[in-house]
Amino acid sequence: MSLLRRPETIVALVLLAAMLGIGFVNPAFWSLDNQFGLLKSNVITGIMALGVLLVMISGGIDVSFPAFAAAAMYLTVHGMVQTGYTGVAIPFVVATLIGLALGAFNAFCIRAFRMIPLIVTLGTASVVRGLLLGLVGTSVININKMPPQLIEFGRTDMIDITHTDGTRFGLTAMILVYGALALGVHLVLRYTMIGRSLYAYGGSPESASRVGFDTRKTLLFAYCTAGALAGFAGLLHASLIWLANPRDFVGFELDVIAAVVLGGASIFGGRGSVVGTLLGVFLLIMIKNSLILMHIDTTWQQVVVGAIIVCSTALTAWRDRKRVG
């Protein structure tokens, strides 16, 4: 496909136009601290979007990851508070593994009972949220109880700039974590057979098993990775906002799915790329943040996100249908 017709190019052009437009209305948009803030807001949505991208390429959909993120985050932080553990690496591994295990359960239900991913993940999301609140607790772990090393970790900056008036701002180092994960997912999708099997399965599940892909492994990979990334992002989120709320991430699925679709992934499966997703996430976050910047009521954000989903899905669906016809 020529570079100009790629969905990524189109998203990039739209993004550029939107940036110029917003910057024109409010030049503060171009200030470094706004740009840094914008990048920081990309991290959590972006990491989750990478997982959802894999699931969507395989032709499925996942709406359970916000619940998994909340569960992994709250369980881990809760455990750290209870045991007084002071490390950082192990908790992130634990949160990731919790997400992975929950993702495996999704894959198992979808595969074993041949159920529709939307229904399965709606169900597991509800079960996980219910269990978390019922068995683990409902109280928010706020800043004075949060493990300080998590907060410290979340505050790591890679660029530090001091304003002339003495206030400081920085670019969070979490953007590196996000970048590394994105690169990893890109390489897997592009250069490994398991990555290609996602595209094959998303294109035609029947053909994928006929040519000899282990489609069980493909599904497991997609949903486990989505769960693991969500679990990781969950804990990272807590360390960025300095509190752990078991009711967090409600409604997150809409933003993330919107971003992935906006990035050119097909809701029918078989199409999508990391580059597109990164652009989609950036575009969505930027629009949402700019609405705040322009003092537009937050309720309108929901309208915007919904409209973005409808428009971009309609566009990709139209594109895919044209291709078939």
| Contact positions vs another protein (CB under 8 A) | 1, 190-196, 199-200, 202-204, 206-208, 210-213, 266, 270-271, 323-324
| Least distance (Å) between residue 211 CB and another protein | 6
Structure tokens at 114: 């041949």
Contact yes or no for 148/93 (Cβ under 8 A): no
Q: Which is nearer to another protein, 114 or 322 (CB)?
A: 322
Shortest Å distance, C-beta 317 to another protein:
14
Q: Cβ of residue 204: shortest distance to another protein, in angstroms?
A: 6
In the complex with another protein, which residue's Cβ is closer, 138 or 192? 192
Which residue's CB is nearer to another protein, number 1 or number 89?
Answer: 1
- The DSSP secondary-structure symbol of 6 reads S
78 closest CA partner among 149, 8, 142, 2 = 142
Shortest distance in whole angstroms from residue 219 CB to another protein: 17
**Residue from 150, 153, 178 nearest 38 by CA:** 178
If the CB atoms of residues 129 and 271 are measured against another protein, the closer one turns out to be 271
Least distance between another protein and beta carbon 221 (Å): 12
- Residue (86 or 192) nearer to another protein, CB: 192
Q: The tokens 């894959």 sit on which residue?
A: 107
- What is the DSSP secondary-structure string of 67-134? HHHHHHHHHHHHHHHHHT---SHHHHHHHHHHHHHHHHHHHHHHHHTT--HHHHHHHHHHHHHHHIII
